[in-house]
Amino acid sequence: KQEVTQIPAALSVPEGENLVLNCSFTDSAIYNLQWFRQDPGKGLTSLLLIQSSQREQTSGRLNASLDKSSGRSTLYIAASQPGDSATYLCAAPNYPGQNFVFGPGTRLSVLP
């Protein structure tokens, strides 16, 4: 069964910093991985869906990479802003083609 972990659990940075959030998964036989953002008490907003064939996906200041061989994905946020403050979750398939398993999330605070 797929297990997903995220490091760090919480992160606090000053505005303007570039930062990296990490996601690890145990079953590397996946063909995609999805990153989400969640504001307090709200639903999940999809940020990036990265396919294993792509290895990398970009949207604005966000860049996600996927390394199946090492069981890792990273989310890079450039020039962080206070509006980026939220919890970031990654999700990997339980096994190819089946439902996503979610990590516990990284709670990010960007200080003005």
Partner 1 sequence: ETGVTQTPRHLVMGMTNKKSLKCEQHLGHNAMYWYKQSAKKPLELMFVYNFKEQTENNSVPSRFSPECPNSSHLFLHLHTLQPEDSALYLCASSQVKQTTDGYTFGSGTRLTVV
Applying CB under 8 A, which residues contact partner 1?
4, 31-32, 34, 36, 41-46, 49, 89, 91, 93, 97-105
Minimum CB distance to partner 1 smaller for 50 or for 77 = 50
Among residues 77 and 105, whose Cβ is nearest to partner 1?
A: 105
Written in H, E and C, the secondary structure of 49-112 is: EEECCCCEEEECCEEEEEECCCCEEEEEECCCCHHHCEEEEEEEECCCCCCEEECCCEEEEEEC
**Cβ closest to partner 1, residue 19 vs residue 49:** 49
How near is the Cβ of 46 to partner 1 at its closest, in Å?
Answer: 6
